[in-house]
Amino acid sequence: MFLPKTDAVNAEIRAAELARREGYSRIELWVTEAIPSELRRGVTISVQEVECGDPDCSPIDTAIAILFSSGGRGMLGIPLESKDVSKESLLEVFPTTPVLAAWARGEDAEWPPMEDDDEDDIGPRPRLRFDIGKRVVCRVGPDPVTGWAAGRVVQLWYREPSWPANSWAPYKIELEDGRNIFAPGDVDQIIREV
């Protein structure tokens, strides 16, 4: 049986949403301030919270996309909810000026830099179903019908610097909305052909 939410529950939901939006606004301001003035023109900052299904990571990460008028872009993430992100925690993971300049020119620049380049240490990898550039749909939410988003594979055997040694995701995917995500497995329940 469906019961309507109480006024107290609705108030909690509104307060959480307000805290999230205020966090987004603060982060956008701090990111804009941290970008060198000569690179700021025409920059769009997009901030959102994303759920992490990996039990070894924070349940909610704040993802920040920096979009330049040249078409260049870069992303960074902070393993905190937006309301908990401080200016100091943002600046600790913020890209260097050379990385920002490369993104502004529309070039690829790795951020964060890989601390360990143990790619050769993992031994043979299984063959993957999709190649770079392949259009796919990926599971991005809990709903089995609406929890999918379209994108394209941009990298095979992706890893984050904070992951344990020899931990890899089969795919990095750029979604149509500009977000970059990874597929933790090469199975139809996570990623499938369009």
Decide if pLDDT at 133 tops 70: yes
Instruction: Specify the pLDDT at position 56.
Output: 59
Binning pLDDT at 50, 70 and 90, where does residue 77 land? confident
Region for 174 from its dihedrals, namely left if φ exceeds 0, alpha if ψ lies in -120 to 50, beta otherwise: beta
Report percent pLDDT > 90 for the chain.
47
Q: Which of 50-59, 80-89, 121-130, 156-165 is the most confident on average? A: 80-89
At 23 the pLDDT is 93
Q: Per residue in 36-63, pLDDT tens?
A: 999 999 999 999 988 866 665 668 888 8
The count of other CB atoms within 10 Å of the CB of residue 100 is: 23
| Mean pLDDT in residue range 173-185 | 91
